[in-house]
Structure formats: C-alpha cells, structure tokens
Amino acid sequence: MKKKENDNSLEKIVSLAKRRGFVFPSSEIYDGFTAVYDFGPYGVELANNIKATWWRTMTQLRDDVVGLDSAIFMSPKVWEASGHVKGFSDPLTECRKCHSRLRLDALLEEAGVFADEKMSEEEINGIFEKSKEKIKCPNCGAADFTPGRNFNLLVQSNLGNFTGDWSKEPTYLRGETCQGIYVNFKNVMDTARVRIPFGIAQIGKAFRNEITARQFIFRTREFEQMEMQYFVKPGDDKKYYEEWKENRWQFYLDLGIAAENLKWHKHENLVFYAKEAYDIEYNFPFGFKELEGVHARGDYDLQQHSKHSGQALDYLDPTTNEKFVPHVVETSVGVGRTFLAVLCEAYCEEEVAGESRIVLKLAPKLAPIKIAVFPLLKNKPELVKKARAVFDHLKLDWRCEFDDNGNIGKRYRRQDEIGTPYCLTIDFSSLEDDDVTVRDRDTMKQERIKISELENFFLAKLKK
Ligand code: ATP
C-alpha cells in the first residue's frame, strides 16, 4: 500500500483491529488500562504467525543459532550489572497546567528540535531550556513545564519479598529479553555444542514503564520481543554485523513489506560501549519509526556479567587455543511493532463494482485464517455435510474457518477484512462433480478445483 501524507489510516487500522477481533484494549470493561493491549482471536493467530516466521528464519533455517526461553524474573543483580537499575531511563517532564507526563526527547523532536534519547539529562534539559518557546503541551496547549528528570523504565515487583516494604529491594520484570541470553551464555556453550560464531534467539515478554504511550500497539508497557545475540570473535564484528543487517532487511521484504516503506536509521549518539547501531524504520501512518534495532554491542554485556557474577564468560577457541570474551551483534524487534507494520502494509481500500471493500493483503504465511470454507446455503443439509467434510480434511493442515452465515458476498467481505487468502464454496454442482469454487482474496478471481486436488493446490499457494 502506498501511503499518503497525513492520511488517517491508523484510525482505520485501530477500528478494523477492534471490529474484527485482532486487538482489544486491555481490561476494556473497566475503562481500559493505559498502554496495555490484548490480542483477540485473529490477533493471536497473526502474532503467532509472526513469531513462527521469525523463529523459523532465525533458528530452523540456520545451523548456527539455537533457541532459549529464559524466565521473565531474574536475580535483581542482573539488572544492576546490565546498567538498567541506574541508567535505563527516559527524560520526563510534566505539564504544569494539565499534569500530563511527557517524554522530553519526543516533545523536542515533535517541535522540530533535534534530541536523542541517548543524550544525558543535562544535555536534553539544556536544549529544552533554549527551545521552550517552541514547545507546547500536546494535550492542553500550555507552555509551562517542570524541569526534565530521568525516569527509570524498569517495572518493579515484590516477587519473593515478604517484608511488606519491598520497594527498597525490588525484583524486576525484565525490561528486555536479551539479558536472559547473556546470563545463559555459558550454559548454552557448555551444552549445545556450539562454536563461535553462534547465536542465541529468544522470544518473550518484556515490560517498561513507558512515559507516553500513544500510537496504539507501537509502544506498550507490556510487549513481546524477538531478540537474537550473535557471539563473534573480537575483530569479526563488522563482517557479521553487515551480514545481519542484510538478513534482517530481507526478513521484512519476505513478510511482504515494500522496500520503499523501510529505511535505515543510523544512531549518531552511540552508548559508550556500542560499536555501531542502526535501526530499521517502517513508514507507519505517523511517520518512519523504529521497527528493529541491529546493534554491534562489543563485549560490554558479557564483561559486565562476568565482573558482577565472578564467573568467567569467555570462550576457548578449540583450534587456536585462544581465549577471549566474545563480542555481540544483536537484532531486536517487538512482536507488536511488527504486527502493526504488517497490518499497516496490508490494509487496502478498493472500489469493487461501485462499492468499497477493505482487504488485508497479508502474506499467506501470516494470515490468521488460510482458507474459509462455505456451503452455498445453510439450509441444505447435503451442502453443509459436504462442506464440513472438506473443512475437516483441510483443517488438519491449515487454520481454516467454516462459515455458513449470510450471503456469499458478505462472507467474502468478512474474510477479506481478516486477510484470508482463499475462500472455498461448495455448491450444487459440487455434489455432482466433486469440485468447488476457490476465490482468490487479491484478484477476486474464481476457479473450479476438484476436491481431490485441493491439498496440492493449497500446498503450492500457501507457502509464501
Ligand atoms: P524506542 O526508542 O522506540 O523506545 P528502544 O530503542 O528503547 O525503542 P530497544 O530497547 O532497542 O528499543 O528495543 C528493541 C525493540 O523492541 C524495538 O525496536 C521495538 O521493536 C521493541 N520495543 C521496545 N520498546 C517497546 C515498547 N514499549 N512497546 C513495543 N515494542 C517495543
């Protein structure tokens, strides 16, 4: 889909996502819960397909990446060592009039003033002071703000603490999944027969006390990450970094995202240990924004955990006998952000015979439902029976949906809106000839296919 400037497609996507059971605001019957969302019946299918595609690409199709599923809770020492307890923060200001809490770097950026989240509190505040006249509260329009301060994003909990006053010694819900990978580096190395270079991939929930939560599921306080840490010999960073940049870009093209809606953003202000950092940005309806980070992190994380735990986290090269602490190339993306990018990319409105149709042109591998099976008429038992038999057979291999409600046109529209690539109708001639009408979502063309050939037909069509 080509996007127009200032179109309102985010509103349309939010509305479709709710109407068709992709995404619901959390705890909606209690007026919702800010920055947390639930995936509905089709949403969970789409999210699962995104995760399965990532997992297949990152582990199954490689012989140098293994998987991991580490716990959400970890020793608080992990977060001390990683630097999150001290430094995992965003600059926060408050509007003195309406008391909205706002992310200062985002406010500056919206006002066209350059600021980077990696700048220090002093740097950002310095810019803030100089550009105050340009900045207005997005909620009430006032221009009166408290001085900026750094706000730590780690979410605290009382897990395992029974003293009643746990806030002095909190445990944390993980702020990113990769720390689970670093602390298991030695376990994996000792058990999985891996040799440098190798990677560890993980999909899991992460939690951040995000200051401003807007733009639907783009930025949420509970979200899922798909992260991979690739451990390399010092000096080989650049080579593997370039390889991973290429692989990750191709991943989005393979999800059906047009290259023109993707771009690289180079981090100019690197954190002190990083060697190189680029983000892949997607052209969301609210502009190009980060989808995935591809970062060369040096040996910082393993060195920190080695220092704090007292455990050697180095690698002994079996051929050269060299010992070193590996460097890391990281790829990191959110499931929800990918979900939103994929929805934005797939959403189309078309004119068909004077009527408009909404269709999600999802890659078949991502579509929540692959095939919808319809009996032409609900009140003809022989049609329903045959359609059920076809459905029961196809569902063994693909996520299918049986629908006998309303006229066929309406059933097509519903499946178009959830992105089902194929609809299949059993009609009276199916009873005679054992064939069905298969209708293609994108071209809307229909063809007759023998029931005995359906499996091969869909095997070829649903691969992508
Ligand atoms: P941002 O600058 O948008 O806050 P970040 O640079 O802090 O993101 P990372 O820590 O690099 O993000 O996280 C890696 C990926 O995890 C991001 O590219 C994004 O896809 C996803 N992600 C991070 N924070 C969130 C969030 N609050 N909600 C949804 N996805 C997130």
How confident is the model over 338-355, as a mean pLDDT? 94
Percent of the chain with pLDDT over 90: 79
The tokens describing 240, both together, are 């593997």
- CA–CA separation, 330 vs 174, rounded Å? 17
The tokens describing 190, both together, are 């000792």
How confident is the model over 277-297, as a mean pLDDT? 96
Q: Quick one: which atom of ligand 1 is closest to the CA of 176? A: 10
Return the pLDDT at 7.
53
Return the pLDDT at 130.
83
Under DSSP, the state recorded for 95 is B
- In 165-220, which residue ranges form alpha helices assigned H by DSSP? 178-183, 185-191
The answer on pLDDT for 8 being more than 90 is no
For the chain, the structural domain boundaries read 2-73+175-345, 89-152, 369-461
- CA–CA separation, 230 vs 227, rounded Å? 10
Annotated binding site for ATP: 208-210, 218-223, 290-291, 334-337
How confident is the model over 130-139, as a mean pLDDT? 85
Protein residue whose Cα sits closest to atom 1 of ligand 1 = 290
225 in contact with ligand 1, CB cutoff 6 A? yes
Return the pLDDT at 214.
76
Percent of the chain with pLDDT over 70: 98
The answer on pLDDT for 116 being more than 80 is no
The answer on pLDDT for 113 being more than 90 is no
β-strand pairing of 89-94 with 149-152 = antiparallel
**Site to substitute for ligand 1 among 214, 248, 332, most atoms within 8 A of C-beta:** 332
The answer on pLDDT for 1 being more than 90 is no
The tokens describing 223, both together, are 């979200």
Kindly report, residue by residue over 289-320, the tens digit of the pLDDT: 999 999 999 999 999 999 999 999 999 999 99
Kindly report, residue by residue over 392-414, the tens digit of the pLDDT: 999 999 999 999 999 999 999 99
Lowest mean pLDDT segment, chosen from 16-20, 237-241, 272-276, 334-338: 272-276
Return the pLDDT at 55.
98
CA 334 to ligand 1 centroid distance, Å:
7
Q: Specify whether the CB–CB gap between 348 and 443 falls below 8 A.
A: no
CA 333 to ligand 1 centroid distance, Å:
7
CA 186 to ligand 1 centroid distance, Å:
27
What mean pLDDT value characterizes the chain?
93
Q: How confident is the model at residue 285 (pLDDT cuts 50, 70, 90)?
A: very high
The answer on pLDDT for 3 being more than 50 is no
210 in contact with ligand 1, CB cutoff 6 A? yes
Q: Specify whether the CB–CB gap between 260 and 274 falls below 8 A.
A: no
Query: Cα angle at 384 between 381 and 388, to 5 degrees?
Result: 135
Q: Quick one: which atom of ligand 1 is closest to the CA of 213? A: 27
- CA–CA separation, 268 vs 287, rounded Å? 20
Architecture of domain 89-152: 2-Layer Sandwich (3.30)
Lowest mean pLDDT segment, chosen from 286-290, 323-327, 350-354, 373-377: 350-354
CA 464 to ligand 1 centroid distance, Å:
28
Lowest mean pLDDT segment, chosen from 105-119, 183-197, 252-266: 105-119
Domain 2-73+175-345 -> CATH class: alpha beta
Kindly report, residue by residue over 207-231, the tens digit of the pLDDT: 999 998 779 999 999 999 999 999 9
Lowest mean pLDDT segment, chosen from 120-129, 138-147, 172-181, 414-423: 120-129
Return the pLDDT at 147.
86
The answer on pLDDT for 4 being more than 50 is no
The answer on pLDDT for 117 being more than 80 is no
How confident is the model over 98-107, as a mean pLDDT? 88
Q: Specify whether the CB–CB gap between 377 and 426 falls below 8 A.
A: no
Kindly report, residue by residue over 428-463, the tens digit of the pLDDT: 999 999 999 999 999 999 999 999 999 999 999 998
CA 11 to ligand 1 centroid distance, Å:
22
The tokens describing 331, both together, are 């790829």
Return the pLDDT at 174.
97
CA 222 to ligand 1 centroid distance, Å:
11
369-461, CATH topology level:
Rossmann fold (3.40.50)
Q: Quick one: which atom of ligand 1 is closest to the CA of 225? A: 16
Q: How confident is the model at residue 272 (pLDDT cuts 50, 70, 90)?
A: confident
Annotated binding site for substrate: 103, 176, 223-227, 330-334
Exposure on the CB side of residue 117, measured as CA atoms within 13 A? 14
* Among the listed residues 279, 303, 243, the one whose alpha carbon sits nearest the alpha carbon of residue 118: 279
Q: How confident is the model at residue 232 (pLDDT cuts 50, 70, 90)?
A: very high
